[in-house]
Chain A
Amino acid sequence: MIAELGHFTLVLAMVVAFLQGTLPLWGAARRQAPLVELAPAAALLQFTLVTLAFLALLNAHLASDFSLAIVYQNSHSTKPLLYKFSGVWGNHEGSLVLWVWILALFGAAVALFGRNLPRPFKARVLAVQGLIGLGFLAFSLFTSNPFARLDPAPLDGLGLNPILQDPGLAFHPPMLYLGYVGFSTAYSFAMAALIEGRVDAGWARWVRPWTLAAWMALTLGIALGSWWAYYTLGWGGFWFWDPVENASFMPWLAGTALLHSAIVVEKRDTLKSWTILLAILTFSLALLGTFLVRSGVLTSVHAFATDPSRGVFVLALLGIAVGGSLALYAWRAPALQGGGAFAPVSREGALLLNNLLLATATATVLLGTLYPLLLDGLGGPKISVGPPFFNATFLPLMVPLLVALPAGSMIAWKRGDLPGVLSRLGLAAAGTVAVLLAAALLADTRSTLGLMGFAAGAWVLLGSLNELAVRAGFFQVHPARAWRRLKGLPRSAFSMSLAHMGLGVLILGITATATGQTERILAMRPGETVALAGYEVTLASVEQVQGPNYAARRGTFAVQRNGAPVTTVHSEKRFFPVESMPVTKPGIHSTLLRDLYFVLGDPNSDGAWAVRLYHNPLVFWMWGGAGLMGLAGLVSLTDRRLRVGAPVPARGSRAATA
């Protein structure tokens, strides 16, 4: 009964989305205030209805109601509670409901917090959100009904893919969806601006917090996914340039470009049609990601729905959303008032360079991701495009971006003084040279790429610290006074430095892990000791253990350094009887500087065990760097400037306390 109510509220939500997507547009065009006022109410109602549907689905999972097809296919009564919870979105139908719910959440947030937006503009934004919601609700209801019943109801479920039974993965999809779907607000703002034919500094100021929130969630979502891949897939890799990873990375790159170009619109009132295009493209890439994952055109660990009829539906949605918005862009954007030309050596020039490089990088990743599909479509051979392509094309694009970053973030608007900026970056430059020398001397690897990575990471990290120090005046005034000045800086200034520092830390982590990994693959008998990057690793024992819904073989590794015990690490090979699938759990010991990563394999015939031992330097820096970037987004979102908005509301500022 609850499931049927959920189904019904989802249908109602679709009706509301239809009204939200049409009437306010009409009202805004015809200046009919009641229809304009309808938009926020409809957005809130839609959110309520989708929330009820989501709760109904959650209830079915928690109660293990196997009369529901998706519960039967993805759950089992012995599954731990957390995974009953995350199982809601661990499948195609449920993840769509989550998608729609987050979309409705953003719509409701615009309705609630967008108090400083002009009414007709807000109505148009919400109408576009409503239309997107309509498309996805229809997709959910017509091709992937989450509330489909089974009759007779089976006694127990088939279980969730054990590889997905993991806390990291429980939160990866919601985070990623917050990012993907969050960019829908940027898209809706862009569409509304195109309809009105007006883009100004105020527009940029409204669109930035939403973009920032989405970007932040996407950053963390990608990092969570990468972290999960690192500690579950069992060979210490963290990024595979898999099409589905690329699908999340492209909106991130485009969204990063959008964040930067919106600043130019806000501060200099130029680069407008480009920013609009970026907003459209960012969400389009997010939709493309959804298409790639949901349509089954690609084989991937993520592709849990491979059904061509769904593919056709998503493709139609993609065609309408992307094609429609680009057509509107082709029609309306030429009429947008362009700003004047500007000097190449200036903050806006630097941001333009950032945009050019990020957009080219996005296009590169897009090409690499779609090329196998294109070739196949042309009747060519089946190929896959892997890391060598991306290393050869993507990384060289990052070099100028990273080299220019510290200078670009310090240079003045309008007419910059590059020699002056460079002279103030002397400290960072000296530090970078020191890191480069240290890396060349200390690291085992002499790869040029590795040294370049260390230099780039250090340059970005130290450059950002240097920028902050210069801004606070540490090199001019008394340190105590500079400290006070530092504390008085606006949060947006901090967030910029923090995000760039995070990027530097991330690059250092990636470089160290990718080039400095020590690997030993061998057969070990219990009691045997081998050396690994300065540690002595002993396979202490191998025993059978029983988990809640699996049986496992657990290997215990004792780690010593120069005879002194460091830690004990367990690696398991778990077997899930319900799903009849084995899963490897690596044993990991992390510190700030390195990860020890051990994997127990299969026994040989002579009583020895195949094991893989890795020493991965600076892995934590990758997660830490991504975390810093996410934190930077949060810091910026709490900046007063964003909440007050451009046109200050006439009566009070309730928005400021929201």
Chain B
Amino acid sequence: MSASAADRAGRRRLLFALPLLAFVGVGAFLALGLGRDPSQLPSALVGREAPDFALPPLEGRDEHGLSRADLGGGRPMLVNFWASWCVPCRVEHPILDRLARDGVTIQGVNHKDMPDKARAFLEELGDPYDLVGSDRQGRVSIDWGVYGVPETYLLDGQGRIRYRHVGPLQERDLKKLLPMLEEAR
């Protein structure tokens, strides 16, 4: 009799402790959530082959466009989506220039841009690109799942997408990017 009463009291205690237990669970997840960056958008293409495409060259820059066949080929590279009208592209450009000087291969996709303005942009700020494809309609960007310019993809030697960076590349992003380039070799 008294055992069952104690039992009941215990269960009652547990009932009153339930809100606390629930809160501890939720709190743990909130703590986990703090370490994450909500603006980070993982690409659905990470780990997959880059989509197939063939783009005409940027008029007046060179004769060779950019196509799927130019990606991979045994060396890791960056594919950078940019436009002359995009202010953040201007911000990240010095970093691309530096990466190119350090021997990183960067392929450019010129997104919804006028060729003369794009050329003027490269003349003014430097041309870090190995090849540039002109995506006047923005179709290729859609296939890649580009969210807005600038956006940069890291591809390994087999042409598989390893990483996607949304927004302008900044100094602090290199800490993450450079080891990944090394690793993709």
Question: Residues of A with Cβ closer than 8 Å to B?
Answer: 273, 277, 280-281, 284, 291, 295-299, 306, 308, 311-312, 315, 318-319, 322-323, 326-327, 329-330, 333-334, 370, 373-374, 376-377, 381-382
**B27 in contact with A319 (CB, 8 Å):** yes
Q: Which one of B17, B34, B35, B38 lies within 8 Å of A330 (CB-CB)?
A: B17
Cα separation A579 to B168 with both chains bound (whole Å):
19
Q: Which one of B12, B24, B34, B42 lies within 8 Å of A315 (CB-CB)?
A: B34
Q: How far is the CB of B35 from chain A (nearest CB, A)?
A: 7
Q: How far is the CB of A74 from chain B (nearest CB, A)?
A: 21
Cα separation A297 to B29 with both chains bound (whole Å):
11
Cα separation A548 to B29 with both chains bound (whole Å):
46
Q: Write out, one digit per residue, whether chain B residues 15-43 have a CB within 8 A of any chain A CB (1) or not (0).
A: 01101100110110111111110110110
List residues 40-70 of chain B with CB under 8 A from any CB of chain A.
41-42
B interface: dominant SS: helix
Cα separation A75 to B41 with both chains bound (whole Å):
32
Closest to B32 in A: A377
Cα separation A273 to B41 with both chains bound (whole Å):
44
Question: Residues of B with Cβ closer than 8 Å to A?
Answer: 9, 12-13, 16-17, 19-20, 23-24, 26-27, 29-36, 38-39, 41-42
**A291 in contact with B35 (CB, 8 Å):** no
Q: A280-B19, A323-B24, A377-B36 are in contact. List 4 more A-B contacts (CB 8 A).
A: A319-B27, A330-B17, A374-B29, A377-B32
**A373 in contact with B16 (CB, 8 Å):** no
**A373 in contact with B23 (CB, 8 Å):** no
Cα separation A381 to B23 with both chains bound (whole Å):
23
**B34 in contact with A295 (CB, 8 Å):** yes
**A312 in contact with B42 (CB, 8 Å):** no
Closest to A308 in B: B34
**Counting chain A CB atoms within 10 Å of each CB, which of B17, B29, B31, B34 scores highest?**
B34
Cα separation A374 to B34 with both chains bound (whole Å):
11
Cα separation A319 to B27 with both chains bound (whole Å):
7
Return chain A residues, CB-CB under 8 Å to B9.
334
Closest to A281 in B: B19
Q: How far is the CB of B113 from chain A (nearest CB, A)?
A: 17
Closest to A296 in B: B38
Closest to B12 in A: A334
Closest to B38 in A: A299
Return chain B residues, CB-CB under 8 Å to A327.
20
Instruction: List 5 A-B pairs, minimum CB-CB distance, nearest first.
Output: A330-B17, A377-B32, A326-B20, A299-B38, A297-B33
A-B contact pairs, 26 of them (CB 8 A): A277-B19, A297-B30, A298-B38, A299-B38, A308-B34, A308-B35, A311-B34, A312-B34, A315-B30, A319-B27, A322-B27, A323-B23, A326-B19, A326-B20, A326-B23, A330-B17, A330-B19, A330-B20, A333-B16, A334-B12, A370-B26, A370-B29, A370-B30, A373-B29, A377-B29, A381-B42
